[in-house]
Structure 1
Amino acid sequence: MANRLLSVGSTFPEFKKTSVVSLEKGNEFYDITSEDHKNAGKWMVMFWWPKDFTFVCPTEIAEFNKHNEDFADRDAILIGASTDSEFVHLAWRKNHDDLRNLHFPMLADTSKSLAEELGILEANEKVAYRVTYIVDPQGIVRWVSVNDLSVGRNVSEVIRVLDALQTDELCPCNWQKGEATIA
């Protein structure tokens, strides 16, 4: 039986995973933990894609990268993740023009243990669905979005939801940063 999707209000699982953070020889890899964003007092946005060396995935990764400063301006740590190895991530970054200059880590969940705990593995291929988590500085999941394997997500919507969550107020439908909240 498949694990249930970890959802809003849950504590994000503890993890320590190797990530690709650079193309510079000797500095390619870094271990990331579930405590990093909490210790920094920051939000975490973790987005998952099914497989490296595919077609929809790099469009999403490149779009998140274009908005890396937007996440940083909101005190959010951005992490991309899949069940591919750090070596596959590194090879893909070296091979794909849009991925060479990423400003966020590519987490490698080769054991699939984190993806299993999150309940985001597709049943047949055991690859992660296109899932995005927004986690607050205390480690609580505040938003989850899941897309089918064939459909890319909307990065602007992730930013909009992060903005809304950070107001800690009631935000109406289609609310945008700077607009009035509900009193």
Structure 2
Amino acid sequence: MENRILGLGSQFPIFEKTAVVSLEKGKEFATISNKDYQDAGLWTVMFWWPKDFTFVCPTEIAEFNKHAEDFKDRDAALIGASTDSEFVHLAWRNNHDDLRGLTFPMLADTSKSLAAELGILEANEKIAYRATFIADPQGVIRWVSVNDLSVGRNVKEVLRVLDALQTDELCPCNWEKGQATIKA
């Protein structure tokens, strides 16, 4: 079966899913929806990992968390996601030193419906590829990056691309925030 990854210019699917948002007893879970972020005029950065309790995934999740304020400063909602349940997410956060202090939601796509709509389900195990989507405040996908299961992504590159997209100008190769854009 061939993946058809939802691409640039497509509307990010509207979702309402359970996520782990805290380790505080009785406040661990919340229902989140990208409609809420769009209504607030925020960009959305959603990154997916294959499985909880694995090896590459926590390095990425921890790195995204180190830069959570950078995303917030750019009016971007950061959401982590996998096809594991909210209970598995919570157990992982409680059992992994690097994940206890997360400041963004860990979305549980247990039905795999959102991952399927995005076209990022691996064919055999039906787990998500390492995909990252940036959607503008109108919910239009402006950037997609998908890595094979064994290769972690570069969080600073996600921030660089977000910065470039938010200029709404032409940005040359290796452009970084603060540098001149191209005037056509």
Verify the 8 A CA contact 1:17 1:33 in the aligned structure 2: yes
**What is the TM-score with the length of structure 1 in the denominator?**
0.99
Q: Tell me which amino acid in the other structure corresponds to 1:111.
A: S
What's the CA shift string for 1:115-161, capped at 9, x where partnerless?
00000000111100000000000000000000000000000000000
Letter in 1 for 2:73: D
How far 1:14 moved relative to its partner? 1.1
CA contact (8 A) 1:3 1:117 kept: no
C-alpha deviation, 1:37, in angstroms:
1.1
One-letter amino acid of the structure 1 residue matched with residue 44 of structure 2: M
Map 1:104-115; keep pairs closer than 5 Å: 104-115=104-115
CA distance in 2: counterparts of 1:8 and 1:63, whole angstroms: 25
Aligned-residue Cα RMSD (Å) equals 0.6
> What is the aligned partner in structure 1 of residue 132 from structure 2?
132
The equivalent of 2:32 in structure 1 is: 32
The equivalent of 1:98 in structure 2 is 98
State the match for 1:86 in structure 2: 86
2:156 aligns to what?
A: 156
Aligned CA distance change for structure 1 residues 63 and 29 (closer, same or farther; 3 Å):
same
Q: What residue in structure 2 maps to residue 118 of structure 1?
A: 118
Match of 2:22 in 1: 22
Secondary structure of 2:87 counterpart: helix
Of all paired residues, the percent bearing the same amino acid is 80
Distance 2:124 2:96 in 1: 27
- Which ranges of structure 2 fall in alignment gaps of 5 or more residues? none
Q: CA deviation at 1:2?
A: 4.2
Amino acid at match of 1:80: G
| Letter aligned with residue 132 of structure 2 | T
2:78 aligns to what SS in structure 1?
A: strand
Q: Tell me, in whole angstroms, the C-alpha distance in 2 between the residues paired with 1:151 and 1:3.
A: 18
Question: Which residue is 1:54 aligned to?
Answer: 54
Please say if residues 3 and 118 of structure 1, whose CA atoms lie closer than 8 Å, have aligned partners that are also in contact: no
Q: Deviations over 1:73-121 (max 9, x none)?
A: 0000000000000000000000000000000000000000000000000
SS at 1:19 equivalent: strand
Question: Is 2:165 aligned against 1:165?
Answer: yes
